């Protein structure tokens, strides 16, 4: 049996929504954004465009040609309804879309973005910044990205189970004013360790989501300086 069989060029992907999707909607699956080129009925098979230049509503603020553009699902589109989503140049907590192909004025309502499905997946892992939630906070697991941990003393964080296969989190201690103990809801290796302790600035660990039976679990890809334990 072939290990891989060519299906299509990837300009669009199948999508069956749980509720109706309007034409022109931005839909994010994991770290992959797509664009509804026509309306899709609830529970009916449709498709989302993933490759091409898309004109996307944007938040207030100038965007230069070539700038990396992200989707803020709760963003305020210029001239539109607040909280309905908008393109932005702010990476923290947002999903990478692509690159602006032309400048957009500060008060402009849209920006033209070159999107490429394979490029999006790579950039989402490498570029997407996930905000450090602070002491006793929960690190978001809605997308892939990196988290710069900053402590002001001995602190804790938590991480829930991953939300999709292949999801990645890169965690590193940016500023050390005390140890950070991160408790993971599931084991992170075959040993069953479920805590990560960062002791010094530069400690770093990378986690990837895999399927273990019917469950999603984090697994350590690499670890430099972090102490792993079971609590």
The residue-averaged pLDDT of 188-213 equals: 95
The residue-averaged pLDDT of 28-57 equals: 93
CATH class of the 130-229 domain in this structure: mainly beta
Residue 187's Cβ-side half-sphere holds a number of Cα atoms within 13 Å equal to 9
- Specify the pLDDT at position 128: 74
Of the pLDDT bands very low, low, confident and very high (cuts 50, 70, 90), residue 153 is: very high
Residue spans of the domains in the chain: they are 12-124, 130-229
Compute the C-alpha angle 21/27/28, nearest 5°: 150
Q: Is the model's pLDDT at 145 over the cut of 90?
A: no
Of the pLDDT bands very low, low, confident and very high (cuts 50, 70, 90), residue 118 is: low
Q: Is the model's pLDDT at 185 over the cut of 90?
A: yes
Of the pLDDT bands very low, low, confident and very high (cuts 50, 70, 90), residue 119 is: low
User: Residue 3 is encoded by which pair of tokens?
Assistant: 């290990």
Q: Is the model's pLDDT at 126 over the cut of 90?
A: no
Contact 120, 33 (CB under 8 A): yes
Work out the burial of residue 54: count CB atoms within 10 Å of its CB; fewer than 13 is exposed, 13-18 middle, 19 or more buried. Answer: buried
């Amino acid at each position: 049996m072939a290990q891989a069989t060519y299906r299509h060029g990837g300009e669009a992907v199948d999508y069956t929504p749980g509720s109706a999707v309007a034409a022109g909607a931005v839909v994010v699956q994991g770290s992959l954004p797509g664009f509804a080129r026509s309306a899709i009925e609830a529970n009916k098979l449709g498709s989302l465009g993933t490759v091409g230049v898309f004109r996307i509503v944007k938040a207030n603020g100038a965007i230069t040609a070539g700038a990396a553009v992200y989707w803020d699902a709760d963003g305020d589109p210029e001239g539109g309804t607040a909280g309905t989503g908008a393109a932005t140049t702010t990476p923290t907590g947002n999903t990478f879309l692509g690159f602006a192909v032309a400048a957009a004025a500060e008060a402009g309502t849209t920006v033209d973005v070159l999107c490429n499905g394979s490029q999006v997946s790579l950039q989402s892992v490498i570029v997407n910044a996930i905000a450090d939630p602070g002491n006793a906070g929960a690190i978001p697991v809605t997308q892939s990205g990196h988290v710069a941990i900053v402590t002001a003393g001995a602190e804790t964080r938590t991480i829930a189970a991953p939300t999709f296969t292949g999801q990645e989190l890169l965690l590193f201690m940016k500023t050390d004013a005390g140890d950070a103990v991160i408790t993971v809801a599931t084991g992170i290796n075959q040993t069953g360790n479920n805590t990560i302790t960062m002791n010094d600035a530069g400690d770093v660990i990378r986690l990837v989501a895999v399927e273990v039976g019917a469950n999603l679990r984090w697994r350590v890809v690499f670890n430099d300086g972090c102490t792993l334990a079971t609590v």
